[in-house]
Structure 1
Amino acid sequence: MSRPIVVGVDGSPESLAAVEWAAREALRRDRPLRLVHASEWTPERESCGAARMVRHHVGRGVLHRAADRVARICPDMWVTDEHVEAPALTALSDAAGRAELLVVGARGLSGRTGFLVGSVAQALTARAVRPVVLIEAGERAEDAHLPDGDGNPSLRTPYRDVVVGIDVRTACDEVIGFAFEAARLRGARLHALHAWSDADGMAPGPGEPAAGTGPAGEEDRRGFLGAVLQNWRDKYPGVDVVETVAAGGAAPHLVRAGTGAGLLVVGRRVHDSRVGPHTGPVTRTVIHHARCPVAVVPHR
């Protein structure tokens, strides 16, 4: 059976927007959709049967409302659901391991009643073994498309760009492949962005010449970026690709590029157990400040 698109739901506006985005993505990828709700859980309450029944009832209600939302926009979608008695981070991390990708609200309810708070969403991006897509409240299907000739939202116009951040020194197939496939599925243009500074004179790989500084360094970086993307251009000949090399920090450039994009793709290096799960500073800044859906793709 194909891996599903998994979405975490807690009834918040963010999670309901994530449900709709996940349903559309499942349709694009021809994948089943799985809704997961994790009830608030603490060890001292596990033996309380009445409390467990209440949590189960509330959880089923949350899942039912989410399924109704899916049925309205994708009536033929194959949807399954799961109510888990576990901390949200544990439940969704486990579900992500069996998924094509995990979709969550970027921010959820504050306090003890909602689990998709910013800290949990951020922890998921640092921990999940599959790509995680973060969705903000209010995200609509037409937001993925360019406005019409009058500047109004439309579902009939082409898709907005898919933007991917690429470090030519450590370019990884998982991140680039995810971005190309996302662009192909949408018929969208792919905008590949590499940011650099004169202080960074490192070579893109062992034994390869380092980039210079100033205008010469920029030209070198363009060559590196083009070389990294060439095999993917050959593999995805139908995807229109635009390449940008920009001086300065990567995070601000990616956040700006994400304004007006349909999807922003960044990588997250998987570290060994001695370091522990975490996101790098660029990815952390992007997921806090980007104003479009953000996909965080783990890679070695």
Structure 2
Amino acid sequence: MPAPVIAGVDGSPESLAAAEWAAREAERRDRPLRLIHALDWHPARPDGEPVDATRRRSALRALRRAEERIHGAVPAAHVTDEQMEGPATAALLKAAERAELLVLGSRGLTGLAGFLVGSVALGVVGQATGPVVLVRAEEDAADEHLPAEGGGASTRTGHRDVVLALDVKDPCDEVIEFAFEAARLRRARLRAVHVWQSPPAFGLGPGDIALVDDPCRAEEWQGFVSAVLQVWRDKYSDVEVLQTVVREKPSTALVRAASGASLLVVGRHLTGRPAIVRTGPVTHAAIRHVGCPVAVVPHH
């Protein structure tokens, strides 16, 4: 059986939006959809004590609400569900091990005012060994598509760009392939964005003075981007690619590039130490401030 797309459901508006997005993605990928609700232990109880009936009923209601929303948006979706006992982060990480990708709301019911990403989502993103997509509560199907001729929302128009945060100094096949495949599935354009910054003058050696010439440096980065992407252009010849080189603060550039996108794809280095929660400053900024769904793809 093919690995499913899994959505974490906790009854929050974010998780309902995530479940619907996951259903659309499962349909695009021709994968089954599985909903997971984590039945967290109460802090005052010893680990392993059975969850009480009230919380099981609450979990069942959350799952049924998600299924109703999914079938309203994707009537043909094949959905199964599961209640998992244990701390939410650990349960979702375990579920992600058997998933094509895991989809979560960017903030759950326990999110604190002023924070855009809850602790569970951050914990999962920082430790998962497979792709995790974060979705905001306001996300709906029309947000993935270009506006209609009159400017109104539509699901009948083409998809908005998929944006890839590309680091040509450390290009990662897993991240690049995920972005190209996402663009192919949507018949969307892929926009690859590489961000660079001028080196400080005090860090230049005697033979490096040419690096101060920003136009020449930008052209050089464009060449690097073209070289990295060429093999993927050949493999995904049906995907239109736009490459952009920006001299700016990386987090600022990505937030701007993802404005109006259907999906932003960023990478995360695997640390080799599963207990370490690490996203990196650019990825962390993206999942906090970008408005479209963000796919975080781990890589070595």
* TM over 0.5, shorter chain: yes
Match of 1:103 in 2: 103
Match of 1:239 in 2: 239
Match of 2:180 in 1: 180
CA distance in 1, matches of 2:149, 2:78: 36
In structure 1, stretches of 5+ residues that fail to align are 202-208
- Asked if structure 2 preserves the Cα contact closer than 8 Å seen for 1:270 and 1:277, the reply is no
Q: Spell out the pairing of 1:191-206 with structure 2 (5 A cutoff).
A: 191-199=191-199
Deviations 1:155-185 (A, max 9, x none): 1111000000011010000000000000000
- Asked if structure 2 preserves the Cα contact closer than 8 Å seen for 1:166 and 1:194, the reply is yes
Match of 1:292 in 2: 292
% identical aligned pairs: 53
CA distance in 2, matches of 1:229, 1:45: 53
In structure 2, stretches of 5+ residues that fail to align are 202-207
CA distance in 1, matches of 2:111, 2:191: 38
- Asked if structure 2 preserves the Cα contact closer than 8 Å seen for 1:109 and 1:117, the reply is no
- Asked if structure 2 preserves the Cα contact closer than 8 Å seen for 1:7 and 1:36, the reply is yes
CA distance in 1, matches of 2:261, 2:74: 24
Deviations 1:263-294 (A, max 9, x none): 00000000122982301000000100001110
Q: What is the deviation of 1:111?
A: 6.7
TM-score (norm 1): 0.91
TM-score (norm 2): 0.91
Deviations 1:202-249 (A, max 9, x none): xxxxxxx9x944222111100000000000000000000000001022
Match of 1:79 in 2: 79
Q: Spell out the pairing of 1:145-224 with structure 2 (5 A cutoff).
A: 145-199=145-199, 212-213=211-212, 214-224=214-224
- Asked if structure 1 preserves the Cα contact closer than 8 Å seen for 2:117 and 2:288, the reply is no
CA distance in 1, matches of 2:144, 2:55: 35
CA-based RMSD of the aligned residues comes to 2.2
Give the number of aligned pairs: 288
Q: Structure 1 111/186 Cα, relative in aligned 2: closer, same or farther at 3 Å?
A: closer
- Asked if structure 1 preserves the Cα contact closer than 8 Å seen for 2:111 and 2:119, the reply is no
